[in-house]
């Protein structure tokens, strides 16, 4: 049996440790006192607070689903929900999400404008090279939907002028409907089903913390152990005084230059890692009025928040009150108490503030070069039996299922 260290007990570290433990001697090191990383939840006055986001689960990968359901009882431990997402505009207009499929819900003058846009873009030729996010949205959805929703919403999320955002940041993460599909979906009232969370599973009790706790079962995890150094001695890695044949690092790649000797991270790698961009999230836990939604997107320029995740609708056990539900109201990057309180006054459904948390690393930003450079670093480290896995180790915009999928792919390489 090989001795393998896994650094980080987020979903990536937990998944790979479970995958490798039958054939290897695996030790997981986690700097926090419990497992979960980004999917951790807390009990606040009897309500369930997702400290980041409001994690729901599904996957398009059959192997991931099969692996996942070996750990859980889908019928008794989970709810299954068809996503009901909506966009809330100022003047109390609510249009179902994705809005391009629900243009018929807008007032008639907007419908007419969107029809003109669609006719125009269907005849125009699309540029494909060096397209910015703004160009992409204008080419695919037209000016009216861009100005009403895509521009203000995405500028809140990405905190940038969209003409400066390369499409490579978001490639593969967006639905890409063509005009024919948009028209068909509007005429026939077809709901979008291609995105991974169009329907989703959610634990009845304890939210995504339930996933982390269950996946931590049966693993050797050393909590409260922040790994500050990984030393190479001969063919072994020395971590916290213990020797390992292989290491899987699922922390943040930005820490690697400090954790490793110079022979592993060149000055060039170091500069590239230093320049990697990211966003954080302030998750504000609130009580809001009852509503039928899973997610509410808010393009309004009158306040700073972009999304309400109605976690209280995912499971009744998430709420203490019978009259209202709990929700996470998200702000991109750090939001001060003052900004939060001012914004809450403008947000629909009468939010009542409970608490908030800022997490510095939540959204890795990729540009056209990121994957290529990360691959070079990964290949070099893999030669020394050090493997990178996870959202911030690989700087990939992974959902939980993609993180599990990446763990599955890596476990096959390690076991081969
Ligand atoms: C706002 C938001 C909403 C999201 N919603 C969803 C959703 O609904 N569904 C979904 O599937 N996905 C969702 N995701 C994505 C999901 O959160 C991630 O894919 C997943 O949690 C990444 O897990 P990870 O293990 O790769 O990283 P992390 O969760 O960041 O885990 C890394 C772990 O390593 C530990 N660590 C780091 N450095 C060290 C060190 N030096 N020593 C020891 N330990 C260390 C950390 O404490 C942490 O526990 C969302 C993400 C965000 C930001």
| Two tokens, residue 347 | 């947000």
Do 109 and 182 lie in one domain? The reply is yes
Residue 314, both tokens: 């995912």
User: In angstroms, what is the span from residue 389 Cα to ligand 1's centroid?
Assistant: 11
Instruction: Name the closest-CA residue to atom 2, ligand 1.
Output: 53
pLDDT band per the 50, 70, 90 thresholds, residue 34:
very high
Same domain, yes or no: 272 and 374 = yes
| Spatial CA neighbour of 309 closest among 284, 279, 334, 275 | 284
Residues with CB under 6 A from ligand 1: 7-13, 29-32, 37-39, 52-53, 55-57, 226-227, 250-252, 255, 281, 362-363, 390-392, 398-401, 403
User: Residues 111, 182: one domain?
Assistant: yes
* One domain for residues 167 and 113: yes
Residue bearing the bigger pLDDT, 168 or 292 = 292
Has residue 197 got a pLDDT over 90? Answer: no
Query: What does the pLDDT read at residue 372?
Result: 93
Tell me how far the alpha carbon of residue 360 lies from the centroid of ligand 1, in angstroms. Answer: 12
pLDDT digits (tens, 9 = 90+) for 325-371: 999 999 999 999 999 999 999 999 999 999 999 999 999 998 878 99
Give the lowest-confidence range in 91-95, 188-192, 205-209, 323-327: 188-192
- 308 pLDDT band, cuts 50/70/90, is very high
Please check whether residue 288 lies inside any domain of the structure: no
At 266-294, the pLDDT tens digits run: 999 999 999 999 999 999 999 999 999 99
Q: How far is the CA of 7 from the centre of ligand 1 (A)?
A: 13
Residue 173: is its pLDDT beyond 80? no
pLDDT of residue 126: 74
| pLDDT band, residue 304 (cuts 50/70/90) | very high
H helices of 21-173, in order, are: 62-69, 74-77, 108-123, 133-145, 151-158
| Ligand 1 pocket mutation pick from 55, 242, 393 by most atoms within 8 angstroms of CB | 55
Smallest CA separation from ligand 1 atom 53, residue: 362
- End position of a domain, from candidates 160, 188, 216: 188
Q: Positive or negative CA dihedral for 258, 34, 407, 411?
A: positive
pLDDT in the model for residue 190: 85
Q: Higher confidence at residue 347 or residue 178? A: 347
Q: Is 351 exposed, middle or buried (0-12, 13-18, 19+ CB in 10 A)?
A: buried
Nearest alpha carbon, ligand 1 atom 33: 8
- Domain range spanning residue 147? 103-188
pLDDT band (50, 70, 90) for residue 177? confident
Domain contains 341: no
For residue 359, being part of any structural domain is answered with: no
Tally of structural domains, the chain: 2
**Domain CATH code at residue 249:** 3.50.50.60
336 preceded by a cis bond (ω within 30 of 0): no
């Amino acid at each position: 049996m090989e001795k393998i260290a896994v650094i980080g007990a987020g979903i990536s570290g937990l998944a790979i440790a479970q995958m490798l433990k039958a054939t290897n001697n695996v030790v997981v090191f986690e700097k926090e006192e419990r497992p979960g990383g980004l999917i951790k939840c807390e009990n606040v006055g009897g309500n369930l607070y997702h400290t980041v986001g409001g994690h729901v689960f599904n996957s398009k990968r059959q192997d991931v689903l099969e692996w996942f359901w070996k750990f859980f009882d889908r019928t008794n431990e989970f709810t299954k929900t068809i996503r009901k997402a909506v966009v809330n505009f100022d003047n109390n207009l609510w249009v179902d999400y994705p809005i391009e499929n629900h243009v018929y819900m807008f007032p008639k003058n907007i419908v007419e404008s969107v029809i003109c846009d669609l006719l125009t873009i269907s005849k125009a030729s699309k540029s494909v090279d060096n397209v910015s996010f703004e160009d992409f949205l204008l080419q695919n959805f037209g000016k009216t939907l861009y100005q009403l929703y895509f521009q203000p919403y995405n500028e809140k999320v990405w905190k940038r002028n969209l003409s400066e955002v390369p499409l490579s940041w978001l490639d593969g993460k967006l639905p890409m409907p063509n005009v024919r599909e948009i028209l068909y979906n509007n005429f026939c009232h077809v709901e979008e089903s291609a995105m991974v969370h169009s329907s989703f599973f959610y634990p009845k009790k304890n939210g995504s913390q339930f996933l982390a706790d269950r996946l931590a079962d049966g693993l050797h995890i050393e909590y409260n152990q922040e790994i500050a150094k990984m030393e190479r001695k001969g063919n072994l890695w020395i971590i916290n005084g213990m020797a390992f044949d292989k290491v899987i690092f699922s922390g943040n790649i930005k820490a690697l230059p400090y954790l490793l000797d110079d022979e592993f991270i060149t000055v060039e790698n170091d500069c590239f890692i230093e320049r990697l961009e990211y966003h954080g999230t302030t998750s504000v836990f609130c009580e809001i009025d009852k509503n039928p939604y899973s997610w509410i997107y808010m393009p309004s320029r009158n306040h700073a928040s972009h999304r309400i995740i109605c976690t209280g609708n995912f499971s009744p056990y998430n709420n203490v009150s019978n009259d209202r539900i709990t929700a996470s109201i998200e702000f991109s990057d750090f939001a001060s108490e003052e900004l939060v309180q001012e914004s809450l006054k403008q947000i629909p459904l009468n939010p009542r503030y409970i608490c908030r948390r800022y997490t510095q690393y939540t959204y890795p930003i990729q540009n056209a070069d990121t994957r290529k450079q990360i691959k070079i670093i990964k290949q070099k480290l893999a030669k020394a039996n050090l493997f990178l896995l996870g959202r911030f180790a690989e700087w990939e915009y992974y959902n939980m299922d993609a993180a599990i999928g990446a763990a599955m792919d890596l476990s096959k390489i390690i076991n081969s």
